[in-house]
Amino acid sequence: MDSNISGDTPDLSRSQINRLGRRLRKAGTDGISDADRDLLERLVASHGPALAAVQDQLMQTLGVRVTSRTKTTGTLIEKLQRNQSMALSRMQDIAGARLVLEMTRVQQDQLVARIVELFPGAETMDRRAQPSHGYRAVHVVVQVDERFVEIQVRTVLQDLWAQLTERLGDAWGRGIRYGDPPDDPDALVGSGTTRQAFFDGLLHQAERIDAVESIAVDLLELEDFYRSTTATPENLRRLEELKQRHRSLEDETREFYRALGLLN
């Protein structure tokens, strides 16, 4: 007999959910039975109240815009198939909330800290320190009423990169988000560039954004430090070099986006 433990829905036990996950992984999106589709819909719907509660609490407490979504059937099954050992009851992003704000990384850290305070037991995944195939953000996984909710906290720069990559994945295969090459990687894009080279450029852009955001923090810290002490000429020279490096990277970032915007 299945026990009523964390991860159960009111009428689905954890082991039933995990068996469902194994069947979904095997059947794929095309082969899902009506009975399993019913079960999956019940599981997804059971996350609705927890997700709404998290979204409300974030908006009311933090005063920021938050949006939410439950995972689609297709992306849920794709995830099970990508992660062969994942138990469906342990999938942490069936319900997800997202915050995208114009902020520095220090402010992003502060926002994450406030979210963690709001939800005892929250777990943080810093995808800036451990990017996933170029994707950077901070994810906080919380549990409400025994349901996981994943909160994605992104800066505007991190989000734009993610949106572009998702959009490109729509056309060239969603596997690019997980390290696969684009479909038809040697096909030409624009002026003689292959899809693969183009996507490599997008991955490089992720590194550039990372540098822009990291240097911005260094600059703020240095400027703050020099306000409280007498800077030597060497200190000032170092500061100016860092500013120039930051400006140069920002220019390169914009130039890359300008080139993307001109593609057909």
Partner 1 sequence: MSYYLVVYDRSTGAVEVEEFADNERDLALHRRFTREREQGKRPEVEVVVLGAESREALEHTHARYFKTFQELANTGL
Characterize the bridge pairing of strands 147-155 and 123-126.
unpaired
Q: Which residues contact 7 (CB under 8 A, 6 or more apart)?
A: 14, 17, 89, 90, 146
Interaction between residue 221 and partner 1 (CB under 8 A): no
Asked if residues 15 and 26 have their Cβ atoms less than 8 Å apart, the reply is no
Interaction between residue 257 and partner 1 (CB under 8 A): yes
- Footprint of partner 1 on 139-158 (CB under 8 A): 157
CA 189 to chain centre: 27
Q: Indicate the length of the chain as a whole number.
A: 264
Given the complex with partner 1, which of 2 and 41 has the nearer CB atom? 41
Interaction between residue 56 and partner 1 (CB under 8 A): yes
Among 15, 27, 57, 59, binds partner 1 (CB under 8 A): 59
Interaction between residue 216 and partner 1 (CB under 8 A): no
Interaction between residue 48 and partner 1 (CB under 8 A): yes
Report, in Å, the least distance between residue 240 CB and partner 1.
Answer: 26
Interaction between residue 187 and partner 1 (CB under 8 A): no
Among 122, 164, 217, 219, binds partner 1 (CB under 8 A): 164
Interaction between residue 133 and partner 1 (CB under 8 A): no
Which residue stretch of 36-44, 135-143, 221-229, 234-242 sits at the interface with partner 1 (rule: CB under 8 A)?
36-44
Distance between CA atoms of residues 21 and 57, nearest Å: 30
Among 63, 121, 233, 261, binds partner 1 (CB under 8 A): 261
What is the number of other CB atoms lying within 10 angstroms of the CB of residue 222?
17
Given the complex with partner 1, which of 87 and 101 has the nearer CB atom? 101
Interaction between residue 73 and partner 1 (CB under 8 A): yes
The site for partner 1 (CB under 8 A) is made up of: 29-30, 37, 41, 44-45, 48, 51-52, 55-56, 59, 65, 67-70, 72-75, 98-100, 157, 159-160, 163-164, 166-168, 170-171, 253-254, 257-258, 260-263
